[in-house]
């Protein structure tokens, strides 16, 4: 008998038929003798619709109320799935994040889980029932409803799997696993049988969807076995595993792109110690995560500093930079929302020279200009024009023979 945490994403529960199909699947697992904890997302594009509704109603949007609103989507799904399970004669009980004992910090709209008190879920399992938990939400230590950031149901599932010491955490979605690149852009993309936690972290951090970044971090830190698979075909998908267990490391495993990045350049910064520190301290104090940074060498005693941030943080980043221009003695700030980041991820890069060269040659042959570059031991990222991003992904996918 195995304990399985099964998470069903938005497309997996998009309508009544899909919800009944999920209930059937859970029933099959129970009949095979396994225990199941289900974690559900909001149906289809519900969360996007709620975000739009908030935009239509309010320009201030207190974040506590945003969380109250967004957490409603998952509550709908959990109740409907329990009803579908009841029709099959299965005792299922729904739990909001708070009822499931998911305690978070108070950072509304991007809360972090601090503790899980899973005794109610354990009691349900022991009585032979199926707990169905609303993903993406918890309760803060001040007893307010919080949400975990977009894609947060993955994190709920992984955190519950860790707390319950589950045998597997299965992430059901609309594709059959993690692919060598987004199959919507490259139809020949290949399903990867195994990916290491480290590679999956880089994929999630650079815009490859499939798993939310926080959930992969959590899985790696708590050694939660992850299985990304399809709720349409139910076939075996991609296992996320410890790197040592993968015999043959591919040089390049996956190519990702992220069009939500934006670039800020502070112009004419005097070449003196302490100015970059002041700029990035200002950004950090506003809670802005900076990704790539480029500082040109100075020949004239001044230099330009460019950095990228999530597009949503562009206005705040420009604010911070502009407010520091006078005290830094810089000449101005430029912003560019029309950029995208294309990344290659692969553990085999560590031991194979030439990946960078082939990357640059491939982009050059396509006439694609590289604005910024950054690397880690298992990743190369290039900032390109947004309009070039998909072409870059296709060309790199072909050049590294990933199909
Ligand atoms: P869910 O609603 O189930 O959480 P997501 O939309 O978060 O699903 O993630 C699944 C989607 O991620 C797929 O439809 C696919 O188009 C996209 N995707 C992007 N890159 C990849 C990749 N490398 N492998 C698999 N899917 C990817
Ligand atoms: N419904 C939330 C979202 O769309 C959480 C999730 O689906 O993981 O981001
Ligand atoms: Mg998702």
Q: What is the pLDDT of residue 296?
A: 76
Question: Quick one: pLDDT at residue 352?
Answer: 86
Ligand 2 centroid–CA 245 distance in Å is: 31
Cα 340 to Cα 371: distance, rounded to the nearest angstrom: 10
Predicted local distance difference test score (pLDDT) of residue 58: 97
The per-residue pLDDT for 57 is 98
Q: How far is the CA of 374 from the centre of ligand 3 (A)?
A: 26
Candidate of 150, 209, 260 to mutate for ligand 2, largest count of ligand atoms within 8 Å of Cβ = 150
Which of 3.40.1350.10, 3.40.50.800, 3.40.250.10, 3.40.1160.10 would CATH assign to domain 3-174? 3.40.1160.10
Per-residue model confidence (pLDDT) at position 28: 98
The sheet with strand 137-140 has its strands ordered as 113-116, 102-104, 137-140, 145-147
Q: In the block, which residue shows the tokens 């060309």?
A: 395
DSSP state of 313: G
Q: What is the DSSP letter of 166?
A: -
CA of 312 to the centre of ligand 2 (A): 17
Rounded CA-CA distance 9/215 in Å is: 14
102 CA to middle of ligand 2, Å? Answer: 16
Question: In the block, which residue shows the tokens 């990933």?
Answer: 402
Residue nearest atom 17 in ligand 1 by C-alpha distance: 209
Q: What is the reported pLDDT for 249?
A: 75
b/e per residue, 69-107, with b = 16+ CB within 10 A?
bbbbbbbebbebbbebbeeeebebbbbbbbbbbbbbeee
DSSP-based three-state secondary structure for 304: strand
Counting from 1 in the atom list of ligand 2, the atom nearest the Cα of 74 is 1
Q: Of 9, 11, 12, 41, which is best to mutate to test ligand 2, by the most ligand atoms within 8 angstroms of its C-beta?
A: 41
Tokens of 257: 């792109």
Distance of alpha carbon 396 from alpha carbon 346, whole angstroms: 13
CA distances from 59 to 34, 63, 163, 302 (A): 48, 12, 38, 40
Identify the CA nearest to 231 among candidates 403, 15, 32. 15
Nearest atom within ligand 2 for CA of residue 212: 8
Q: Where are the domains of the chain?
A: 3-174
Q: What is the pLDDT along the chain (403 residues), one digit of tens a residue?
A: 899 999 999 999 999 999 999 999 999 999 999 999 999 999 999 999 999 999 999 999 999 999 999 999 999 999 999 999 999 999 999 999 999 999 999 999 999 999 999 999 999 999 999 999 999 999 999 999 999 999 999 999 999 999 999 999 999 999 999 999 999 999 999 999 999 999 999 999 998 888 999 999 999 999 999 999 999 999 999 999 998 887 777 889 999 999 999 999 999 999 889 999 999 999 999 989 998 998 877 778 899 999 999 998 999 999 999 999 999 999 999 999 999 999 999 998 888 888 999 999 999 999 999 999 999 999 999 999 999 999 999 999 999 999 9
Atom 4 of ligand 2: nearest residue by CA position? 47
Question: What pLDDT is attached to residue 60?
Answer: 97
Residue nearest to atom 5 of ligand 2 (CA): 151
Measuring from each residue's beta carbon to the nearest atom of ligand 2, which residues come in under 6 Å?
Answer: 9-10, 41-42, 47, 73, 135-136, 150-154
Distance 299 CA to ligand 3 centre (A): 47
Which residues have a beta carbon within 5 Å of ligand 3, which is an ion? 9, 151
Distance 212 CA to ligand 3 centre (A): 6
Give the number of whichever ligand sits closest to the CA of residue 73.
2
Burial tier of 376 (Cβ tally within 10 Å: 0-12, 13-18, 19+): middle
Residue 247: per-residue pLDDT: 75
Distance CA 180, CA 186 (A): 9
- b/e code 279-297 from CB counts within 10 Å (16+ = b): bbebbeeeebebbbebeee
Q: What is the pTM of this model?
A: 0.92
Cβ neighbours of 370 (radius 10 Å): 16
């Amino acid at each position: 008998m195995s304990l399985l945490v099964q998470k069903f994403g938005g497309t997996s529960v998009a309508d009544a038929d899909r919800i009944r199909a999920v209930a059937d699947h859970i029933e099959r697992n129970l009949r095979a003798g396994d225990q199941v904890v289900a974690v559900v997302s909001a149906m289809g594009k519900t969360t996007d619709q709620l975000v739009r509704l908030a935009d239509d109603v309010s320009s201030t949007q207190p974040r506590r109320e945003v969380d109250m609103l967004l957490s409603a989507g998952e509550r709908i799904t959990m109740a409907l799935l329990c009803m579908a399970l009841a029709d099959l004669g299965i005792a299922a009980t729904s739990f909001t994040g708070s009822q499931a004992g998911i305690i978070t910090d108070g950072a509304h709209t991007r809360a972090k889980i601090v503790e899980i008190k899973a005794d109610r879920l354990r009691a349900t399992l022991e009585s032979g029932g199926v707990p169905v938990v609303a993903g993406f939400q918890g309760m803060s230590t001040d007893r307010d409803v919080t949400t975990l950031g977009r894609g947060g149901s993955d994190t709920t599932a992984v955190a519950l799997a860790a707390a319950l010491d589950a045998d597997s955490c299965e992430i059901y979605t609309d594709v059959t696993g993690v692919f060598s690149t987004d199959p919507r852009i490259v139809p020949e993309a290949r399903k990867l049988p195994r990916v290491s936690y480290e590679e999956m972290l880089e994929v999630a951090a650079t815009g490859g969807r499939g798993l939310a970044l926080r959930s992969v971090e959590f899985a790696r830190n708590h050694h939660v076995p992850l299985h990304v698979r399809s709720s349409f075909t139910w076939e075996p998908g991609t296992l996320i595993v410890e790197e040592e267990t993968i015999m043959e490391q591919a040089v390049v495993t996956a190519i990702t792109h992220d069009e939500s990045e934006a670039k800020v350049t502070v112009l004419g910064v005097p070449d003196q110690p302490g100015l970059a520190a002041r700029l990035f301290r200002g950004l950090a104090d506003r809670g802005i995560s900076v990704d790539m940074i480029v500082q040109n060498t100075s020949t004239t005693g001044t230099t330009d500093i460019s950095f990228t941030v999530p597009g949503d943080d562009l206005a705040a980043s420009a604010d911070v930079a502009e407010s520091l221009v006078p005290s830094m003695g810089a000449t101005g700030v430029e912003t560019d929302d029309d950029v995208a980041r294309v990344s290659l991820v692969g553990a085999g890069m560590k031991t194979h020279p030439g990946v960078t060269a082939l990357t640059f040659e491939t982009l050059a042959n396509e006439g694609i200009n590289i604005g910024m570059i950054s690397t880690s031991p298992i990743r190369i990222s290039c900032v390109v024009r947004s309009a070039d991003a998909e072409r870059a992904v296709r060309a790199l996918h072909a050049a590294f023979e990933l199909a």
